[in-house]
Amino acid sequence: MRIAMIGGGYVGLVSAACFAEFGTEVAVVETNPHRLAALQEGRIPIYEPGLDKLVADNIEAGRLSFGADIAAAVRGAEAIFIAVGTPPRNGDGHADLTYVFAAAEQVARAMDRFAVIVTKSTVPVGTGRRIAEIVRHARPDLDFEVASNPEFLREGSAIGDFMRPDRVVIGTQTERAGGSERSQEILRRLYRPLYLIEAPILFTSLESAELIKYAANSFLAMKISFINEMADLCERVGADVHDIARGIGLDGRIGRKFLHAGPGFGGSCFPKDTLALMRIAQEAGASSRLVEATVQVNDARKASMGARIMSACGGSVRGKVVAVLGLTFKPETDDMRDAPSIPIIHRLVENGASVRAFDPAGMDAARPVLPSQGVCYCEDAPDAADGADALIVLTEWNEFRAISPRRLRELMRGDVVIDLRNIWEPDAMADAGMRYSSIGRPDGR
């Protein structure tokens, strides 16, 4: 079986490599010349654990190739996946579908046989049908179908998520007689290795599949906003948010995941997908009050982090050296999109701090989005802490957990540690003589 993947970013590249690992021949089309050059030279332009080996193995096996020539890629493909970006459109929260529609048109012009055009990108309800119109308009002669196969992988554990998913969702056109069966048959064959491990595969309409992705991300974002509100409450009443998370999460109806209090959600998906769902609901004349509250709570939380840091630093950071550990929006990725570190570091620098920053994978992606002056990029975490008056943890990379409070005390000039990811124990910090503040937990002894 042969397929094409339009877009070789976090989702397109991982999906392509995993499909190739399933034994499918995958041609990836990438228009970003830097990303394409890297891929063609055997380098991986993003950081994702395990991806370098998976890509190398499948190139070696002759199943995975990269190019800019869409016609060559779609020739003979039974399924053509669109995995391009859908960033928020300026101002109104709606997903920007420019790249998706451009890709659909390019695909239409390049197709040479029946194929199913599948959106892997997260797209608003109705996009699949608009893609069908675009393709029909560009190539009235073409025999094709459209399907939606939203992706649920998480950066940092993307390969495992793709290979052992909680579920696969496939939405197909249902109104054409027999129409959806052709798409379903192709996609069933493509995902056959997952049938063998009994991953649930859910067939739905196009609209349902499109909405499932937004509903899933908004629900997860809502869990995060909920536990963040609980963390604030814990701080007021002397409770511990870790105990609250465990105490409620062990209830199977609630579940333990996504109950980690922190500086507010960021990243390339939750902020834009919650806004897009609000917009979809608004356009459909439906209410989305829970999602609106989720977004408001998160915006307020992100904005409050600066004040929290200032207050922990004694009211001002002017003239102080502040170490920042972790820049990416979460560990095990180099993705800086909508990372909480961006507004926080801008605020620190605007208020006169000099920042010593370190991230294990995100430094290159961070440079263009952080202030051009006032930030020094360090060799490692101890180097960042060296001589700092205060230290802030923004991303919970495992290697930071390994640094003991006593070591921090030796390295730093000051004694203020603001841990927005709760990676250290308050008591251990207090024992080391640090003034430690974390999220939703009582201070150490």
Residues near ligand NAD (CB under 6 A): 6-12, 29-32, 35, 83-86, 99, 102-103, 106, 121-122, 151, 153, 155, 268-269
Q: Which of 18, 269, 313, 378 is catalytic?
A: 269
Nearest approach, Cβ of residue 72 and ligand NAD (Å): 13
Nearest approach, Cβ of residue 89 and ligand NAD (Å): 13
Beta strand ranges found along 96-238 (DSSP E) = 115-119, 144-148, 168-172, 201-205
Q: Kindly tell me which of 123 and 392 has the beta carbon lying closer to ligand NAD.
A: 123
Nearest approach, Cβ of residue 161 and ligand NAD (Å): 9
CA distances from 150 to 49, 50, 167, 208 (A): 22, 22, 11, 11
Buried b (16+ CB within 10 A) or exposed e, 341-350: bbbbbbbbbe
**Which 8-state DSSP code applies to residue 212?**
H
- Name residues whose C-beta falls within 8 Å of residue 169's C-beta, 6 or more positions apart in sequence: 148, 149, 150, 152, 202, 204, 209, 212, 213
Q: Kindly tell me which of 17 and 29 has the beta carbon lying closer to ligand NAD.
A: 29
Q: Kindly tell me which of 86 and 180 has the beta carbon lying closer to ligand NAD.
A: 86
Got the DSSP string for 158-174?
HHHHHHS-S-EEEEE--
Enclosing H/E stretch for 292: helix 289-312
- C-alpha 238/C-alpha 417 separation (Å) is 20
Q: Kindly tell me which of 151 and 210 has the beta carbon lying closer to ligand NAD.
A: 151
376 catalytic per annotation = no
Nearest approach, Cβ of residue 235 and ligand NAD (Å): 31
Taking CB atoms, the residue at the shortest distance from ligand NAD is 9
CA distances from 426 to 77, 185, 242, 312, 418 (A): 56, 55, 12, 15, 11
Q: Kindly tell me which of 271 and 306 has the beta carbon lying closer to ligand NAD.
A: 271
Nearest approach, Cβ of residue 120 and ligand NAD (Å): 6
Name the residues annotated as catalytic.
269
